[in-house]
Structure 1
Amino acid sequence: MTPWPDGRRRQLRRGGFATAEAARSEREQFGATGGRELADATVTVGQWLRLWLATLVHLRGSTLCSYRTSVENYLIPCLGGDLVRELTADRIQAMVADLIRDGGASGHPLRPGTLRHVHSTLRAALNAAVRRGLLPTNPAWHVHVPTGRRPHAVVWTAPRIAQWQTTGQRPPVAVWTVEQTRAFLEHIHDHPLYPLFHLIALFGLRRGEAAGLRWCDIDLDQGLLTVSQQIRQYGSRIEIGKPKSEASNRVIGLDSVTIALLRQYRENTAGDVGPGSEEFMFTTRSGDLLTPQHLTHLFRALNDESDLPPIRLHDLRHGAGSLSLAAGNDLKTVQAMLGHSSIVLTADTYVSVLPDLACRAAEATIHHVLSAAKATSARLRSTPAAAA
């Protein structure tokens, strides 16, 4: 039992551990303070962080796992022995500098995104400490953390491929051209999970969404695919839950080629599956659920076999937005297909301009400019002054 600001005592309950041993270890780590009232003057940051984690029963398992990673790998090694009541913005700023320089205890400098997440985890934990009465204000609010820039997807053009082959360096986020995407799909056409990768490459499904598809989510007569759930994985635990956001609950229109492909796939693998079947469309060879991690490893192996430049499985989703735009669809259509809540996110993050689209835009621009110049020249030649 542990006290709360209102004076009542509530029992802490935590789940989501991969093994019983992991659960026992977590309990022992904060057990010294979790079973009695905290002595505010002697609570360390490490004690508070573990007790705070134990109260987060309302979060998704993946979010909690991410918080725990920040706490165990960075915050406790850097600040765990400090007293909560003595924590200052300068002390936290020094931790940030250490993480930027050499990663703290990890020994590897952190990427801006990871650093921001570590800071936001500490900020949330100290907000709870303020509510608990351990701190008057949250010192993490006054700490500067470099924002960095979100990496934009670039296209695997011939010069980039040559540089990668020479130096081994690759862009953080890269997508294939239309020809490269076609070559990959042709390469894996006989693979049992070809239809799954077809859906990701052309319609931008997230890996968990594709793994979570059931036959009841597909209306082949109307040509509609409904995204209503996903498979999530953290550690060895697998969970079937709602899509990432409200906008991710979406209906996608299918083309005739994809409809024919899925009909054939159903005939070959699922047999006589009727409408409304809860059976999963895609499973392992043994009939088990596909996990996001399994799909990531499988895609990496297929990518290596194809001799195409490397991309991540999630980059197929980036590429789907780019291909849809290149095909002439507008941003709003692409946003709805990808399940984004904001069209700004679609334009800023996922839609990369493919080379052929960029060249067509350049040709259109120069044609417009030269046509205007010719019209102006003709007008000047036809004036009386020009005639004189």
Structure 2
Amino acid sequence: MLLREFWNDRFWPYCTRNLRESTRVGYESAWRLHVMPCFGGMGMDAISVELVDKWLANFDTAGAARKAWAVLRAILRRAIRWNLLDVDITRRDIQLPAKPHYEPQILTIRQQRALLQGFYGHPLEAWLICAVSCGLRTEEGYGLEWSDIDLRSGVLHVERGLQWVSGHEVTVPPKTELSRRTLPLPRFAVKRLRELRPREGGRLIGTLTPPQAARQYK
């Protein structure tokens, strides 16, 4: 079976039923730009480690190469699981480009205090207090609603995320089961959030979309 036939007839329909929209968008992009042009017209059993190594060596960035390989690997592993392919090259020693070293910038306590003071009275202040105090993922902070905050107990419940995918909002469940969690809020946060809480509730970012909130924060 040609790889493009498997993608069109079996793999992509599986993706539309089982994967998040943001994941599907990434898969479709990697397939269209990188996997399909090189391997789409090949039989799946003809894809070898040597061909994959040469393909990966031609990418401009390590990130793009790794994402494209992740999609090709997912396709081949699904074909193996469905007994449509016998040889599993995904378990071999594929030569992936080295990832550049990344070290996140961590704010000191003094910098965090200055950041929060600078946002005092800003429409995004409540969102920033929770994001900074609880170390939330970006999508978790965007999806946070006032009903998720128990100011009597001083805790915050992470129940969902909010993503911006292909020009529209997508509400998603927490990334893993461990991501659905209850976090304690520091005393200063509880005090200030009581002052900021609106009667009507809603999201902490109000009616802003994730890109709009990101631009305002920047």
Task: Report the counterpart of residue 37 of structure 2 in structure 1.
Answer: 77
Residue 379 of structure 1 corresponds to: none
Q: Deviations over 1:85-137 (max 9, x none)?
A: 432221112111112xxxxxxxxx122x4423321211121123335555331
1:54 and 2:5 matched = no
Q: Evaluate the alpha carbon distance shift between residue 79 and residue 248 of structure 1 in structure 2; reply closer, same or farther with a 3 A threshold.
A: same
CA–CA distance in 1 between the matches of 2:7 and 2:93?
18
- CA contact under 8 A between 1:209 and 1:230: conserved in structure 2? yes
Offset from partner CA, 1:33-56 (integer Å, 9 cap, x none): xxxxxxx3xx3x334334322222
Matches within 5 A, 1:1-388: 40=1, 43=2, 45-51=3-9, 52-56=11-15, 57-99=17-59, 109-111=60-62, 113-131=63-81, 134-146=84-96, 148=98, 151-153=101-103, 173-266=104-197, 270-271=198-199, 273=200, 279-284=201-206, 288=207, 290-300=208-218
Q: Percent identity?
A: 25
CA distance in 1, matches of 2:204, 2:81: 46
Kindly indicate whether the alpha-carbon contact (under 8 Å) linking 2:53 and 2:94 is maintained by their aligned counterparts in 1: yes
TM-score (structure 1 length as normaliser): 0.50
CA distance in 2, matches of 1:249, 1:132: 32
C-alpha deviations, 1:262-313, integer Å up to 9, x for none? 11111xxx23x5xxxxx423244xxx3x44333333322xxxxxxxxxxxxx
How far 1:202 moved relative to its partner? 2.2
Aligned residue pairs: how many? 216
Query: TM-score when scaled to structure 2?
Result: 0.85
Q: Secondary structure, in 3 states, of the residue corresponding to 1:63?
A: helix
Which structure is higher in RCO with an 8 Å CA cutoff and minimum separation 6? 2
The alignment yields a C-alpha RMSD, in angstroms, of 2.4
CA distance in structure 1 between the aligned counterparts of 2:109 and 2:168, rounded to whole angstroms: 36
- Where does structure 2 lack aligned partners over 5 or more consecutive residues? none
Gaps of 5+ in 1: 1-39, 100-108, 154-172, 274-278, 301-388
Matched to 1:137, the amino acid is V
Alignment check: 8 A CA contact 1:208 1:231 kept: yes
